[in-house]
Structure 1
């Protein structure tokens, strides 16, 4: 599935993401499945384990990346433990999937942003998410 408004990302599960931007961020919350996994479906309320890579739209500066730490992250999904953009896009995808998600401020850190991570209140966030497991 090609989406002209979304950035180009390498579609290789487990590989450190490379993200190339073309033009302005799309409006609203957007998710594109780059690789469709064949594992169990993630459901709201599951504990999901992922690798992820986060940048501000148009930037090459990574603000958070479990790939760079070589340490996947686990958390409850769909239950308010992470930003709304994740809670609304990760459930419904299979283990083994690679997603690219564009998250506007209202689904991310809101108007206050997250200054310590270099995220402004108007910034759209982009995450590449590899779903490793769910339980």
Structure 2
């Protein structure tokens, strides 16, 4: 058995250096592509984002973890759990994607305080009429894993809202709009009309 030697041309001066420079450039380019692909995931980490936001001036955090900043204080009463509120709002993901707004709904939107995600309900009950807040809702007070189907909100997303409380309608007004007599949904026994 014989082995045939294949002659290899000698490398020109500086070719080895060019080869190593090319390998280094490709490695750096691959690292940059990998970083760009994961940067949005690192930025979207809920706990690190919430910690950075909590450290901002003016941001307050409730016992539940809801973060809020009073942009303009309101006056008067605060809505209760059974009330209906009229709000202007814009909801965003932490990457700035707007997923909902009252403007898209045609202007100030009526919302039942108790019919919302827990973080939004908690924030509304702290506000007064005319108040404007920026609220940051952690996943546990938002949608968590149970996001609306086919929507732009990913599971375990931190939600940001700019909210203005335009007006408050008492729970009795909401019950009347739904066709129930006042007091019908509060668990109290119905009262017979008083005779004269």
Instruction: Confirm or deny a common fold (TM above 0.5).
Output: yes
Match of 1:105 in 2: 139
What does residue 52 of structure 1 align with? 89
Of the three residues 120, 123, 129, the one matched with 2:157 is 123
> Would you say the 8 A contact 1:30–1:102 is kept in 2?
yes
Superposition RMSD on alpha carbons, in Å? 1.9
Could you say which structure has the greater relative contact order, defined with CA pairs below 8 angstroms and 6 or more residues apart? 1
Point out the structure with the larger strand share: 1
Q: How far does residue 44 in structure 1 lie from its aligned partner after superposition?
A: 2.3
Cα distance, 1:115 vs. partner? Answer: 4.9
Whichever structure has more helix as a proportion of its residues is 2
Pair 1:63-2:94 in alignment = no
Q: Which residue of 1 aligns with 2:49?
A: 25
The CA deviation string for residues 43-84 of structure 1, in whole angstroms up to 9 with x for no partner, is 221111101100111x2221001124432211221x2x1111
Taking structure 2 as the reference length, the TM-score comes to 0.51
1-side partners of 2:123 and 2:75: how far apart? 17
2:111 to 75, 87, 94: 75
When normalised by structure 1's length, the TM-score is 0.72
Please tell me whether Structure 1 or Structure 2 has the larger radius of gyration of its CA atoms.
2
Is the contact made by 2:143 and 2:157 (CA closer than 8 Å) also made in structure 1?
no
Structure 1, unmatched stretches of 5+, are 1-22
How many Å separate the matches in 1 of 2:156 and 2:127? Answer: 28
